[in-house]
Every structure is written in structure tokens, then in C-alpha cells.
């Protein structure tokens, strides 16, 4: 199927500003070439410096950056530094997820995702009930770090699966990529929503604005997608998204309607209410069940992938709601319509 | 998911369309499908698989919107209190 719109030129995003010594060293290495990079063990695994440095390393596998040669993707010094950062990040996640590392009851873990709590205070609940337009725009700007490359991190796992699990995962991914219609690609629908909300839909535009909690969620997907050893965790992450997305998307549709957003801004989440009701079924029956029948040893990592996704989603949720509760921007670089910073002490 | 007409030229019986009846939720129908509503309205779905609501709670009839899920108060989720679902990690 052909797009009704002319193709957009591929323009890699600009490199971001550094956020500390580690990201500064990685950005220098991206610009100038191989250097030996030190990753101190006491670097905060969830902090801005490590998460941005890791994000930039991973981005070489997606769209790259303007001014950075494409060959840098396989630079051994960058890969060595990336491995050190991944050890810290993965180690922190394994230590911080609830339960025991030996837990392998995937059905119980999925069942917990399938109950719909009616009285929690999540981001989508807040936006539906009394969120303001500037908060909705912040949410969309931050989500763009993933949704403008929606389904790409999970596509890395295709080659690591076999048989029915592979076929089912590809059929979900096919749907994410518009089922052959480029104008229905989820990343395209997200860009349309950004345009309708008067945000920039340029790939990577909001990287400098995104706090570490946003980058950590995307980094988890990239890390699990790029490591065959983490294929079970990737499927757990994918399942978490597909299982929890439909009710949340429905609340975001209602939020956008309440805020009188244009119709082009509503289609993305409206599509996800129905699409993810199907994907939920396919990921459970089509992907996880046959994958675990073929490789039972992956169950622990599926559980870990679910728990790590929930942990990072909750951290981001807390950050957004705490910021908005205090009437200030959750972005590192606020959008023009965010309230001016008041009452903050220097 | 094969189209029944695909095999017409070959000496094979057309493959029957698969419909999966789930214990906890929708009917899963291999698509594309066109559904005729009680008022005669025709609704199309081009998805590889379509989830049709059978619990009648969906607000997007005839499609499933996951409204069949158990709705519980947070204080009822005793074991899951650390990890009650607050917001989707993203959308898929």
C-alpha cells in the first residue's frame, strides 16, 4: 500500500547536551572517535548521566545522530562502555524488582496485570479526570522518545524466536507498522497527534527535555531487544505494554476529548484501545505460551521483564504526578505553555 | 489466517476460518472481517485478528475494549500492593 503523503527526508537528530561526566565523555567519543571510557561503579544507575549516555549508545542502532558516522555503531570502545553501563542498570533492576529472582510463575504475573484497579491515581487517570492541556502535551512530548520508533526495539527479538512464537510476534509487529499502510503506522499516528497538539514531531526533538525516568523505560526495551540473552525479558516487557495499554489508552482518548483536542490528536490512542485488546490475546496465547513450551528456562526472565517494566513505569508515573501536583513542568526544558517556575528555591 | 480463496486454484480444500473462543474475554476471529450489526450497519476490520466482544460490556461494539477485565479496588489487591498498575508502560 502506498502512502498518500510524500516520504519525509531522513534527518538524524542533533546530539543532546551532556548531563554529567559520563554522558559528556560518550558524546565526545561519538563526535571524535574511539577513546577509552571509564564508567565508575558508583554512577547512579537511574540517573540522568548514565541514562542519557546509554540512550545515545543505543540510538546508534536506530537512527544515529547528525555529525556521527554510522560506523560508530560497532565501535568497540563505545560497546565496552555500553556494556559497563548495562551491567550497572541491569544489576540495579534485578536488585530492585519485587519478589525473588527465582520466581517463574508467568501466569500469575500476567494475571496481576489483567485486573483493572478502579481507584488508583495514575497518569492516565489524572489526565482523564482533571489534567490540563499543558500536562497532556508534556506527556506526549516525553512519550515521543519511544513512540516515534514504536515497535522498533521489539523488532530486534524476531530473529531470536522460532516457530509459532515468532509468527505471532511478527503479526503483532505488522499491526504496529500499519499492516502495510504507512499512514496507519503507529509511529505515524503518534507524529500526527504531535502535529495536532502543536508539538514538534521531528525524531528525537524532545531528547534534551526528557528526564532520566523516561530514558530508562526506552533503554530497558533497547537493552532487552539488543541482547539475545535477554529475549525472555523483552517478551515480558512487550507483554506488559500490550496488556496494560488498552484501558490506559481509553482514558487518554477521554482526556483528549475533554480538552477539545482536534480529531487528529485522538486517533493514536483510539487505535490502541482496539488494537491492544487484540494484541493482549496474541501476546499471551501466540507468543508467551509457545515460547515457554519451547524454552521453559526463559520463564524467570519473562517475569523479570514484566516486573522491571512495571517498576520503571511507576517511577515515571510518580515523577510526572509529583511535578504536576506542584504545578511545575516534568520536562527538563519546559514547553512554552507550562506554568512558570514559581516557589522553587534556587 | 489464510484467505479461503487462496487455495482455490490448487487441488486443496479451502482452509476454514479460525475462531478462537477465549475463556476470559473476546472471540478471536482471523481477519479481515465485516460484521453486520443488529441495526444493519456494517463494520469492517482489516486486522490480522479481530477481537469481538461477547461480554457486551465494551463501549466499542462489536470490538473488545478489555472492559471484561476484573475491576478491583486498590485495597483488594493485597499481594500486588507494591505493583498496582498505575499507568501503561507505554502503548503497544
Distance, in Å, from the CA atom of A254 to the CA atom of A262, rounded to the nearest integer, reads: 12
SS3 call for A268: helix
Q: What's the distance, Cα to Cα, between the start and end of chain A in Å?
A: 55
pLDDT digits (tens, 9 = 90+) for A16-70: 999 999 999 999 999 998 888 889 999 999 999 999 999 999 999 999 999 999 9
Boundary residue ending a domain (A96, A119, A145)? A96
The reply to whether residue B88 touches residue A245, judged by beta carbons under 8 angstroms, is: yes
Distance, in Å, from the CA atom of A177 to the CA atom of A164, rounded to the nearest integer, reads: 20
Please indicate, yes or no, if residue A341 is contained in any of the structural domains. Answer: no
Same domain, A158 and A302: yes
User: How many residues comprise chain A?
Assistant: 346
With CA atoms as reference, the chain A residue closest to B91 would be: A245
> Which among A118, A217, A311 has CB closest to B72?
A118
Q: What is the pLDDT of residue A267?
A: 93
Lowest mean pLDDT among A102-111, A114-123, A337-346: A337-346
Q: What is the pLDDT of residue A337?
A: 85
Name every residue in B having a CB less than 8 A away from some CB of A. 1, 20, 22, 24-26, 28, 46-51, 60, 63-66, 69-74, 77, 79-80, 82-92
Query: In this model, does residue B86 exceed pLDDT 60?
Result: no
With CA atoms as reference, the chain B residue closest to A178 would be: B47
Banded model confidence at residue B23, pLDDT cuts 50, 70, 90? confident
For A48: left if phi > 0, alpha if psi spans -120 to 50, otherwise beta; the answer is alpha
Q: What is the pLDDT of residue A44?
A: 98
Query: What CATH number did the domain enclosing A211 receive?
Result: 1.20.910.10
> Which among A117, A119, A268 has CB closest to B85?
A117
Same domain, A270 and A309: yes
Please indicate, yes or no, if residue A81 is contained in any of the structural domains. Answer: yes
Same domain, A81 and A158: no
Sign of CA dihedral A91, A97, A102, A103: negative
Chain B CB contacts of A281 below 8 Å: 20, 22, 25-26, 28, 49, 51
Boundary residue ending a domain (A70, A96, A122)? A96
Give how far A148 is from chain B: nearest CA, Å.
12
Same domain, A256 and A194: yes
Q: How many domains does chain A have?
A: 2
- Domain limits at A75? 21-96
Angle at A45 between CA A60 and CA B91, to 5 degrees: 60
Q: The whole model's pTM is what?
A: 0.90
Chain B CB contacts of A268 below 8 Å: 91
What is the percent of chain B where pLDDT is above 90?
36
Q: What is the pLDDT of residue B10?
A: 55
Boundary residue ending a domain (A71, A96, A121)? A96
With CA atoms as reference, the chain A residue closest to B52 would be: A278
The DSSP call for residue A5 is S
Q: What is the pLDDT of residue B82?
A: 41
Q: Count the neighbouring beta carbons within 10 Å of the beta carbon of residue A40.
A: 10
Same domain, A258 and A157: yes
Please indicate, yes or no, if residue A119 is contained in any of the structural domains. Answer: yes
Distance, in Å, from the CA atom of A93 to the CA atom of A308, rounded to the nearest integer, reads: 6
Distance, in Å, from the CA atom of B28 to the CA atom of B19, rounded to the nearest integer, reads: 6
pLDDT digits (tens, 9 = 90+) for A226-235: 999 999 999 9
Same domain, A126 and A200: yes
Distance, in Å, from the CA atom of A214 to the CA atom of A95, rounded to the nearest integer, reads: 20
Same domain, A155 and A270: yes
With CA atoms as reference, the chain A residue closest to B53 would be: A277
> Which among A119, A171, A316 has CB closest to B48?
A171
**How would you classify the pairing of strands B71-72 and B49-52?**
unpaired
Same domain, A280 and A227: yes
Give exposure, B29-56, as e/b (b: 16+ Cβ within 10 Å): bbbebeeeeeeeeeeebebbbbbbbeee
Q: Is A120 exposed, middle or buried (0-12, 13-18, 19+ CB in 10 A)?
A: middle
Please indicate, yes or no, if residue A181 is contained in any of the structural domains. Answer: yes
Q: What is the pLDDT of residue B76?
A: 62
Query: In this model, does residue B5 exceed pLDDT 90?
Result: no
The average pLDDT across A243-253 equals: 91
Nearest CA to B49 out of A330, A280, A222 is that of A280
CA separation, residue A102 to residues A94, A299, A303, B88, B91 (Å): 11, 9, 9, 25, 28
Query: In this model, does residue B39 exceed pLDDT 50?
Result: yes
Banded model confidence at residue A346, pLDDT cuts 50, 70, 90? very low
Same domain, A46 and A175: no
Query: In this model, does residue B85 exceed pLDDT 70?
Result: no
Same domain, A185 and A57: no
Distance, in Å, from the CA atom of A278 to the CA atom of A173, rounded to the nearest integer, reads: 12
Amino acid at each position: 500500500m502506498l502512502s498518500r503523503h510524500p516520504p519525509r527526508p531522513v534527518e538524524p537528530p542533533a546530539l543532546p547536551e551532556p548531563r554529567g561526566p559520563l554522558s559528556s565523555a560518550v558524546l565526545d567519543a561519538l563526535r571524535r572517535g574511539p577513546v577509552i571510557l571509564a564508567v565508575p561503579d558508583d554512577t547512579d544507575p537511574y540517573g540522568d548521566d548514565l541514562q542519557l549516555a546509554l540512550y545515545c549508545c543505543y540510538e546508534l542502532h536506530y537512527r544515529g545522530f547528525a555529525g556521527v558516522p554510522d560506523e560508530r555503531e560497532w565501535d568497540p570502545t563505545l560497546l565496552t562502555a555500553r556494556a559497563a553501563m548495562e551491567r550497572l542498570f541491569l544489576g540495579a533492576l534485578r536488585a530492585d524488582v519485587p519478589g525473588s529472582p527465582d520466581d517463574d510463575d508467568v501466569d500469575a504475573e500476567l494475571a496481576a496485570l489483567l485486573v483493572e484497579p478502579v481507584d488508583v491515581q495514575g497518569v492516565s487517570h489524572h489526565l482523564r479526570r482533571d489534567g490540563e492541556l499543558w500536562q497532556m502535551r508534556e506527556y506526549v512530548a516525553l512519550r515521543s522518545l519511544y513512540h516515534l520508533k514504536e515497535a522498533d526495539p521489539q523488532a530486534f527479538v524476531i530473529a531470536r524466536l522460532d516457530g509459532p512464537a515468532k509468527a505471532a510476534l511478527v503479526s503483532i509487529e505488522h499491526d504496529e507498522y500499519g499492516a502495510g499502510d504507512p499512514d496507519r503506522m503507529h509511529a505515524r499516528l503518534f507524529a500526527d497527534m504531535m502535529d495536532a497538539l502543536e508539538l514538534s514531531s521531528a525524531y528525537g526533538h524532545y531528547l534534551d527535555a526528557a528526564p532520566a525516568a523516561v530514558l530508562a523505560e526506552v533503554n530497558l526495551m533497547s537493552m532487552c531487544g539488543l541482547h539475545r540473552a535477554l529475549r525472555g525479558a523483552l517478551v515480558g516487557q512487550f507483554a506488559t505494554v500490550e496488556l496494560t495499554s488498552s484501558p490506559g489508552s481509553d482514558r487518554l482518548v477521554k482526556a483528549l476529548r475533554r480538552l477539545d483536542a482536534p480529531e487528529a490528536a485522538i486517533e493514536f490512542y483510539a487505535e490502541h484501545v482496539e488494537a491492544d485488546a487484540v494484541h493482549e490475546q496474541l501476546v499471551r496465547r501466540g507468543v508467551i505460551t509457545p515460547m515457554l513450551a519451547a524454552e521453559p528456562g526463559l520463564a524467570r526472565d519473562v517475569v523479570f521483564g514484566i516486573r522491571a517494566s512495571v517498576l520503571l513505569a511507576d517511577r515515571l508515573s510518580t515523577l510526572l504526578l509529583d511535578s504536576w501536583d506542584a504545578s511545575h513542568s516534568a520536562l527538563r526544558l519546559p514547553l512554552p505553555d507550562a506554568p512558570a517556575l514559581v516557589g522553587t528555591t534556587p | 489466517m489464510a484467505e479461503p480463496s487462496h487455495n482455490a486454484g490448487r487441488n486443496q480444500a479451502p482452509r476454514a476460518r479460525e475462531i478462537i473462543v477465549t475463556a476470559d474475554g473476546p472471540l478471536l476471529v482471523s481477519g479481515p472481517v465485516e460484521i453486520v450489526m443488529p441495526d444493519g450497519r456494517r463494520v469492517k476490520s482489516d486486522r490480522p485478528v479481530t477481537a469481538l466482544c461477547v461480554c457486551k460490556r465494551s463501549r466499542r461494539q462489536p470490538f473488545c475494549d478489555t472492559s471484561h477485565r476484573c475491576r478491583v479496588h486498590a485495597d483488594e489487591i493485597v499481594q500486588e500492593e507494591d505493583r498496582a498498575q498505575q499507568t501503561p508502560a507505554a502503548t503497544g
